[in-house]
Structure 1
Amino acid sequence: MRTIKKIHKAVYAPMDDLVTYRALPTREVEYIDPFLFLNHHGPQVYKPGNRGLPFGPHPHRGFETLTFILDGDIMHQDTGGGKDVIEAGGVQWMTAGSGLIHAEVSSDKFKKEGGPLEILQLWFNLPSKLKMAKPTYIGLQKEAIPVVTEDDGKVKVNVISGNWGATKGPIPSLSDIHMASIEIQAGGSFATTIASDRNIFFYVVRGAVIVNGQKVDKLNLVEFTNDGEELKVEALENSYILLGHALPFNEPVVSHGPFVMNTEEMVRVFLSTAFEGGRHQNRVNKIADC
């Protein structure tokens, strides 16, 4: 079995009235190549007449984002043409690549009516050869995500990218990242095999589980070594986890806010050209006016 190197508690990092826990990066763990960043928003309940999510138009470049909507919704729009509202159970996968501007806000309906909200956003790096990939966006409602059941229905695996057994996820990953969200009833269990040269991303969103012999509570990220292939997971209570794996890129990572490149020079050059002649602000206005 894979050996657990360390279990990292997500840090509390609220954004105005939005409850937020950050699992990556923290003082203890910078990233797990190629998994760069995880913000866990909520759980919380918004009152009717709320302002919703605060993520108005902002830029990204050099990486990808995967957003899980557990409760509430997200209205997405970007300068590449992506636009929709994804509701509870759905996901959004965006390849920022060479660069775009997008907004992630709550729908008018959610702002008017309120309700429970819990959303997680995970960032994946892109290898240097794909940093300038064309920006793309895929939004999937819950019904479009294939589900694999195990342990007499106690385990439900929502397959997003890559494969889970014979089931293929609907989102093609540019860099062979396999991602799933897994719902486990108390007492349920599953086992899976992941090649030892692939890094594992394992975050407990809700509940508590035993993974490879160690207890992991909610709001904790598990960092594994690369010495084995088997994962065994058992739920101590009703639980929800994010599980992914990928080959590490083993490349330099230089980040400046929402830009992730390989060198300081690449970031500096992009910043100097992106804002030239007011082009950046014009693109921000384009989204804000819609």
Structure 2
Amino acid sequence: MDKKLDFILKGREKSIGEETILQPLPHKDFRFASPFIVLHHLPPKTYPPGSPPERIHPHPHRGFAPVTFQFQGEGYHKDSLGNEGYLNAGEVQWMFAGKGLLHSEGPSKEFLAHGGTYEFVQLWVNVPTQYKGEPAWYRQAGPGEMPLMISENGVDLHLACGKYDTVQGPLYSYTPVIAAFGTVDKDSTFSITAIEGYWTLLYVLDGVLWINEQEVQSQHLVVFNKAGDVINIKASTDAKLVYLSGEPIEEPVAAKGNIVMNTVEEVQQAEKDYAEGRFGVLED
């Protein structure tokens, strides 16, 4: 049975540090699809050679996994645990914040020196309460490590996490999640078989798609009804997308700033721990 499109949500502009991103989730018409809490899209941004540093300065995370799909350019990140590294176009970084850390990110110095176009999607993936106090960790995967999710001509969707049909993504989530991203050529048609009962989302970064006979413009997020399992897609133009499907986490969500917990009291404790320096120290 075809899945119904319950919501088509336009990303609204939101300022984060020196960046202006689009945020279709959460939205005034639809809040959470836990495990999916937040989706941010930095649309293509062109930097001339020799651009000055531009970063999202050190900020705290606790209780969830920020996941970055790098579409264009090269990012650089570091945290208060001593982790640092680069994220290149076509790569995905799955960062589990766990019990807490400080993190900063932005275009790398090398990228800014040469100039170019920068674009990414960042997703916040919730975790069940028993994992929120676990130590933080990182995983990263490049195009060669992520198998193609769909084998149709003109469709280049790489599976970052979860199992789809006979292929398995290399990245790990504490709750079952299927995450894929990539491009679709104009006039290509294909179908995705979703797991009934999961929260299923599809974000169109660029281009126009017909999804189960409804038109979806660029910079819009589709939230599907949990019933049904068939998603039919036809590309009216070349397009870029992120596809997500996850087993619901049936627990309360208390989110504030960059903290995702189960209760307001837990959020307040996280803020207190951060203020008292328990998330560590990170120079910009």
TM range (shorter): over 0.9
In the alignment, what sits opposite 2:144? Answer: 143
In the alignment, what sits opposite 2:77? Answer: 76
Kindly indicate whether residue 53 of structure 2 is the aligned counterpart of residue 38 of structure 1: no
In the alignment, what sits opposite 2:267? Answer: 267
Tell me the CA shift for residue 58 of structure 1: 1.4
Structure 1: gaps (5+ residues):
none
Quick one: which amino acid aligns to residue 171 of structure 1?
Answer: L
C-alpha contact 1:178 1:246 (8 A) present in aligned 2? yes
Quick one: which amino acid aligns to residue 111 of structure 2?
Answer: F
C-alpha contact 1:62 1:259 (8 A) present in aligned 2? yes
**What are the residue-to-residue correspondences of 1:97-246 with 2, within 5 Å?**
97-151=98-152, 153-246=153-246
Quick one: which amino acid aligns to residue 272 of structure 2?
Answer: S
Secondary structure, counterpart of 2:19 in structure 1: coil
In the alignment, what sits opposite 1:283? Answer: 281
C-alpha contact 2:18 2:55 (8 A) present in aligned 1? no
Tell me the CA shift for residue 148 of structure 1: 4.2
C-alpha contact 2:5 2:225 (8 A) present in aligned 1? yes
Q: Quote the RMSD (CA, aligned, Å).
A: 1.7
Q: Alpha-carbon deviations, 1:148-190, whole Å to 9, x = none?
A: 4522x21112010002221110112111111001311111121
In the alignment, what sits opposite 2:23? Answer: 22
Q: Normalising to structure 1: TM-score of the pair?
A: 0.92
Tell me the CA shift for residue 137 of structure 1: 0.7
Residues of 1 paired with 2:91 and 2:247: CA distance? 26
Residues of 2 paired with 1:81 and 1:164: CA distance? 34
Residues of 1 paired with 2:127 and 2:186: CA distance? 36
Tell me the CA shift for residue 283 of structure 1: 1.1
Residues of 2 paired with 1:15 and 1:249: CA distance? 27
Of stretches 116-125 and 6-15 in structure 1, the one that deviates more from structure 2 is 6-15
Tell me the CA shift for residue 219 of structure 1: 0.3
Quick one: which amino acid aligns to residue 88 of structure 1?
Answer: A
Quick one: which amino acid aligns to residue 196 of structure 2?
Answer: S
Secondary structure, counterpart of 2:175 in structure 1: coil
Tell me the CA shift for residue 279 of structure 1: 4.6
Runs of 4+ that moved beyond 6 A: none
Residues of 2 paired with 1:184 and 1:18: CA distance? 27
Secondary structure, counterpart of 1:150 in structure 2: coil
Secondary structure, counterpart of 1:147 in structure 2: coil
Secondary structure, counterpart of 1:251 in structure 2: coil
Q: Structure 1 17/102 Cα, relative in aligned 2: closer, same or farther at 3 Å?
A: closer
**What are the residue-to-residue correspondences of 1:49-88 with 2, within 5 Å?**
49-88=50-89
Q: Report % sequence identity.
A: 29
Q: Normalising to structure 2: TM-score of the pair?
A: 0.94
Residues of 1 paired with 2:18 and 2:61: CA distance? 24
Aligned residue pairs: how many? Answer: 283
Tell me the CA shift for residue 133 of structure 1: 2.0
